Amino acid sequence: MRSEAAEGDWVFGYGSLMWRPGFDWVEKRAAILHGRRRAFCIYSVHHRGTPERPGLVLGLVRGGSVRGVAYRVAAERWCEVADYLREREQPTETYIEGRVRVRLDGGQRADCLTYLSDTGHPQWAGDLTEDDQARRIAGARGLSGPNVDYLRDLVAHLREAGVRDLGMERLLQRVVDLETR
C-alpha cells in the first residue's frame, strides 16, 4: 500500500487503537475518515461483556466523518502487525477488514487498513438510542475490564487530542449516572 504522505503501510484507529495500539509503528498522525462515523454498534461478548451480559464496543458505520489516528508501519513488520490486529480485533469476527482512504493532518492522504462494522453479524447492535447504549454499557464487564472504562478512555483521548465529541461525553455521563445509582 502506498501513500501520498510517505511510503509504508498504514492502520487507521478510531477506538482503543488510538490510545493503545499494541504494535510498533514508525509514524503516528491525526487523521479523518469521511463517509463513516464512530458508533457503539457492536455487542461485545469478549472484551467488554459476556454472552450472558453483552456490552458495547465501537464500530464504523456509514455517514458523517470520524477523527482518529493513522499509524505507519514499517514494511518488514507489516505481516506481524496485520496478524496481531486480526487476533485483537476479530475474536468473534464482528468486523470486516477493509481499506479506507483518510486525510492526515497536514492534508496528505493515506490508504489504511481498518475494521468496519459487519451489519450482517449476530453481534451487530445497529442504531441504538443513547438510553439503550447507556443501559448496555453500564455494568457490563469482559476480559478487558468494565465497559465504561472503554468509553471513559475514548472520551479522555478525544479531549487530549482537542476533539470535543458531545455525544460521547453525554453518553459517558449517562453511564456514570446509571452506575452510581
Question: Is residue 179 among the annotated active site residues?
Answer: no
CA triple 59-23-79, angle to 5 deg: 90
Instruction: Find the helix packing angle between 166-180 and 147-160, rounded to 10°.
Output: 140
Beta strands in the chain (DSSP E): 9-13, 27-44, 55-73, 95-104, 109-117, 141-142, 145-146
- In the set 52, 89, 160, 169, the catalytic residue is 89
Three-state DSSP class for residue 60: strand
Instruction: Report the distance separating Cα 51 and Cα 31, nearest Å.
Output: 34
C-alpha 166/C-alpha 178 separation (Å) is: 18
Residue 99 and residue 2: Cα distance in Å, rounded? 12
Query: Which residues carry out catalysis?
Result: 89
